[in-house]
Structure 1
Amino acid sequence: MKRFLSNQTPALLICRAALSFSWIYQGAVPKILFCSSGETELLGHIIPVYAWACIAVTWMGVAEIAFGVLLLVARRGWVFWLNVLTLSGLLLFVALFEPGMFTLPFNPLTLNTALIALSIIAVMELKKLNSGV
């Protein structure tokens, strides 16, 4: 673990920590611990049976936690590009089904844009490490 941390730039470590924390928190708190009604309603656009939507939200939480851990330890840039693609897809989903969410404070647009920026910075930092710059 010490070797892994020693060859990371401070910027990359900050990106990893922030991205991982965000995914793990979003998976654990609003999805698994509290099964947020907002999460269930949003998913209800594609899963009309409420009980199934609740189950899906829980499994999404588990997947988000796993993805957060992956972002913490990933050695390749594709994981961060997958994050960019996923967050962009989530933004599109919200824009199509719940556009009113974009008017709320700390809404998906502001959060996802910041996380996408951190992912791009992480890719740039990984490129520096891999090229020996």
Structure 2
Amino acid sequence: MRFFVNQTPSLLICRLALAFSWVYQGAVPKIACQSKGEIDLLGHLIPVYQWACEAVFWIGAAEILFGLFLLVARSQWVFLLNIAALTGLLLFVALFEPELFTLPFNPLTLNISLLALSAIALLELKKLNHLT
């Protein structure tokens, strides 16, 4: 808990929001509910349905771990990795399932918001590193 004391309120809010998003996206549509959409999207890379289901589960577990890591990481690289991952995921959807961009609360609006939070977190972390 001592770690959270050394954070600006903006950085803490960004960390919590980003962590929640990754943990939720890993836990609910990938592990708890195994969304057909998640499986279909991964099916572009893994054509065997059962393997795609297993991969979705493990991707969900990795997303949960990454979300938790975002809470405690002290280095800027984790936020840069987050930006790269979100950009890559956005490009993947644009390439294989562009019709998803027409849905409400679609990958574009979600990822742009998460990218903005990542940029704010980077700026706040840089401020903290300059103060110490």
TM range (shorter): over 0.9
In structure 1, the partner of 2:85 is 86
In structure 2, the partner of 1:104 is 103
In structure 2, the partner of 1:32 is 31
In structure 2, the partner of 1:55 is 54
Q: Percent identity?
A: 70
2:44 match: secondary structure? coil
> Following superposition of structure 1 onto structure 2, how do residues 68-79 of structure 1 map, counting pairs within 5 Å?
68-79=67-78
Over residues 76-108 of structure 1, what are the superposed CA-to-partner deviations in whole Å (9 max), with x where a residue is unaligned? 111001000000000100000000000000000
The root-mean-square deviation of aligned C-alpha atoms, in Å, is: 0.8
Unaligned runs of 5+ in 2: none
Alpha-carbon distance between aligned partners in 1 of 2:70 and 2:118, rounded to the nearest angstrom: 9
In structure 1, the partner of 2:6 is 7
The alpha-carbon deviation at position 8 of structure 1 amounts to 0.2
In structure 2, the partner of 1:64 is 63
What number of residue pairs does the alignment pair up? 132
Alpha-carbon distance between aligned partners in 2 of 1:88 and 1:5, rounded to the nearest angstrom: 28
1:101 match: secondary structure? helix
Length-normalised TM-score, structure 2: 0.98
The alpha-carbon deviation at position 6 of structure 1 amounts to 1.2
Alpha-carbon distance between aligned partners in 1 of 2:50 and 2:4, rounded to the nearest angstrom: 43
